[in-house]
Structure 1
């Protein structure tokens, strides 16, 4: 039996690739084959941005200054995909290509991440591919996220039509479960993010520890948004322990004047940095997950922007 997984997998984002790898392995634990359907959409990994104003110009100037490290990061993301993801031989660019011919799957699995967030897509609408509507095979949803607290006006009926086609539904957050109940009248249990379905040993087997990386005895700081309330805590921890600060760059802003910034880490190096840290400070969900996975003492904050709508879900 074979499952076709539709999820975010190609964007160079640590959480996206690691949740995709985890979902495949979790499904295979039940005795199924599982591969990601290579649906390539809205996922631009170009190092330099399309010119749109001062913001993109500043980003590109920073990229140029750190080009060697950022190009190595790019290479390491691509290598992790080749080494640890099972992806279909054929790439699909749009819905009609998927719907137009037979697919080698016994079920379609809508995987985790914010695949049901309409705001992610250029037209601000749901992408029906991530609801599996291109296939008449059985459809299951594991831990998808809407990423918004409410469904935009005028899109409720469309969403209900998509949800009615699933034999089993679940959600990654309580807000997502409530949306499914309100829109489709169906119970959708809140389930673990796929990265919590694997063991620390399984993640350690995918980790890498480059020779020029610190080997331990450091405070790892990983931020995906402005550090805000993390800064006083990070400074106090640095002062009281005397340990150096290593910043894994989810954002490019330097979070501490003495931080050693690591810009070239791919997903394997991400895992290695968490595995070897003495402490972790983070405002990232997956930063928290991998602190827990590797039993690292951690301190997590949530930025004010993420506490407000629409990110609070």
Structure 2
């Protein structure tokens, strides 16, 4: 049994961040290891008072999920020295998953997520780390390379990430599944299945044209359009703000159709065998979506041009989940094997 600590994005109001941490820690505990999480929070932009008030409910929901389903956190760490002190008695430290190597998100804390605070004796692994972009956005190539050479094993979530490691840092990296896809069942979370007759629309970036097409699709399919976790009322949609983590999962699991630009919303649509369509989101961050869909043989579920949403008739086509599951089993075994073998290295 090993003592393992995970460094990832924590205490953020984000469904994917919480669920990927839940999944990775569960897999590690299933292997018989003890797991804790570094209590390090990224510095974020200040939010206006109305914004903070609007987030109170969400913050409470995520807090409840962490308390019930996530491993114990270390003491709060705000500096590299405090993080180093928190590594006491650790056999391995794992960074990932999520966009932990996206310098546009980590900014001045960029190298913390390459373990610049770890004593040399502590072994380190990257699991499904993501650069968030096909290009490296970092600030100091030599420092980053020096830190990466200390890793026992490196894996990334996208092929573009493996290419960055090879071309920028002259290091090999395995491509593995996002942790959420390592788990076959989320029964522990008690997400009930029931009939809703809903089209779930979960999108980070608002777009009036897309919203109009979503409503047209819902009308054609005789479904109720639901704006999931929307930060404002959308005309013609059922408004479902501030869902809990389990409420968010339940909406996806019971949807007749899911339309999203979110990687993790797509991932759970796949796990729950729901019909879905994925649209582009932030800039070029959709490479992770295309990579996974291609591996699963359903790359046609991604629409590079959102204007084609209605005319593509993709919402009228089904997904052969028998083939998807067969591909997923192979990828899952490969990813878990990477973790198991990496944790055996001395």
If the TM-score is normalised by the length of the shorter chain, which range does it land in? 0.7 to 0.9
What do residues 9-63 of structure 1 show as CA deviations (whole Å, max 9, x unaligned)? 211111111111111012222221212121233257xxx814xxxxxxxxx5577
> Could you tell me which residue of structure 2 aligns to residue 128 of structure 1?
112
Residue in structure 2 matching 1:86, options 45, 51, 71: 71
Please give the root-mean-square deviation of Cα atoms over the aligned residues, in Å: 2.6
TM-score, L = length of structure 1: 0.82
| Aligned residue-pair number | 285
- Tell me, in whole angstroms, the C-alpha distance in 2 between the residues paired with 1:74 and 1:197: 26
What do residues 189-248 of structure 1 show as CA deviations (whole Å, max 9, x unaligned)? 11111111112x32x432557xxxx96111111101234664354233211222211111
Contact map agreement 2:114 2:148 (CA 8 A) in 1: no
Residue in structure 1 matching 2:221, options 241, 246, 253: 241
Task: Using CA pairs under 8 Å that are at least 6 residues apart, name the structure with larger relative contact order, 1 or 2.
Answer: 1
- Tell me, in whole angstroms, the C-alpha distance in 1 between the residues paired with 2:166 and 2:198: 45
Q: Classify the secondary structure of the residue corresponding to 1:127.
A: helix
Q: 1:61 to 1:86 in 2, by over 3 A?
A: closer
- Tell me, in whole angstroms, the C-alpha distance in 1 between the residues paired with 2:118 and 2:244: 32
TM-score, L = length of structure 2: 0.74
- Tell me, in whole angstroms, the C-alpha distance in 2 between the residues paired with 1:144 and 1:86: 20
> Could you tell me which residue of structure 2 aligns to residue 206 of structure 1?
189
Which aligned pairs between 1:35-184 and structure 2 lie closer than 5 A?
35-42=36-43, 49-50=47-48, 61=50, 67=54, 70-100=55-85, 103-123=88-108, 126-131=110-115, 133-135=117-119, 136-152=121-137, 155-184=140-169
Q: 1:289 to 1:129 in 2, by over 3 A?
A: closer
- Tell me, in whole angstroms, the C-alpha distance in 2 between the residues paired with 1:84 and 1:242: 37
> Could you tell me which residue of structure 2 aligns to residue 222 of structure 1?
202
Instruction: Flag as ranges the 4+ runs of structure 1 deviating above 4 A.
Output: 60-64, 310-313
- Tell me, in whole angstroms, the C-alpha distance in 2 between the residues paired with 1:62 and 1:184: 40
Contact map agreement 1:110 1:140 (CA 8 A) in 2: yes
- Tell me, in whole angstroms, the C-alpha distance in 1 between the residues paired with 2:166 and 2:135: 12
- Tell me, in whole angstroms, the C-alpha distance in 1 between the residues paired with 2:150 and 2:254: 44
| Structure 2 segments unaligned to the other structure (5+ residues) | 289-346
| Structure 1 segments unaligned to the other structure (5+ residues) | 51-59
- Tell me, in whole angstroms, the C-alpha distance in 2 between the residues paired with 1:157 and 1:137: 21
Residue in structure 2 matching 1:275, options 247, 253, 276: 253
Q: Classify the secondary structure of the residue corresponding to 2:21.
A: helix
What do residues 150-187 of structure 1 show as CA deviations (whole Å, max 9, x unaligned)? 33475111110111010100111111111111123221
Q: 1:115 to 1:152 in 2, by over 3 A?
A: closer
- Tell me, in whole angstroms, the C-alpha distance in 2 between the residues paired with 1:101 and 1:234: 48
Residue 306, structure 1, aligned to residue 280, structure 2: no
- Tell me, in whole angstroms, the C-alpha distance in 2 between the residues paired with 1:83 and 1:289: 23
- Tell me, in whole angstroms, the C-alpha distance in 2 between the residues paired with 1:102 and 1:296: 41
Contact map agreement 1:207 1:271 (CA 8 A) in 2: no
- Tell me, in whole angstroms, the C-alpha distance in 2 between the residues paired with 1:273 and 1:101: 37
What do residues 123-161 of structure 1 show as CA deviations (whole Å, max 9, x unaligned)? 3x6232543642321111100111233334751111101
